[in-house]
Amino acid sequence: MILWVRNNIGRQLNGWRPYENWANAPGGIEEEYLLDDGIRLHDGTNPRDKGMSAKDGLQKLRSALSTPGASVLKE
């Protein structure tokens, strides 16, 4: 929220962008993700698993982040 306010009052922080339409979709149209069936995502819970599809991985990430106070870590 602070980044958004700073952006709107003209006091942006270098290197940071607030939540916005980064893809510059015309008219705020929601873009679909381009998914590749060969891409596999691994959450680190089982080093031997074969991963999950990008679609399933995105859904798992969305679910985790929908919990108030939740975060995710890239290792």
pLDDT digits (tens, 9 = 90+) for 13-49: 777 766 666 666 666 566 666 777 888 888 878 778 8
Q: What angle do CA 10, 15, 17 make, to 5 degrees?
A: 60
Kindly state whether residues 7 and 25 are assigned to the same domain: yes
Kindly state whether residues 47 and 27 are assigned to the same domain: no
Kindly state whether residues 51 and 27 are assigned to the same domain: no
Structural domains of the chain, count: 2
Kindly state whether residues 11 and 26 are assigned to the same domain: yes
Domain that holds residue 52: 37-75
Cα 65 from Cα 73, distance rounded (Å):
11
Kindly state whether residues 19 and 43 are assigned to the same domain: no
Kindly state whether residues 22 and 49 are assigned to the same domain: no
Cα 3 from Cα 34, distance rounded (Å):
28
Q: What angle do CA 36, 28, 22 make, to 5 degrees?
A: 60
In this structure, what DSSP letter does residue 4 have? H
Kindly state whether residues 42 and 24 are assigned to the same domain: no
Token couple for 20: 């916005």
- pTM summary value: 0.49
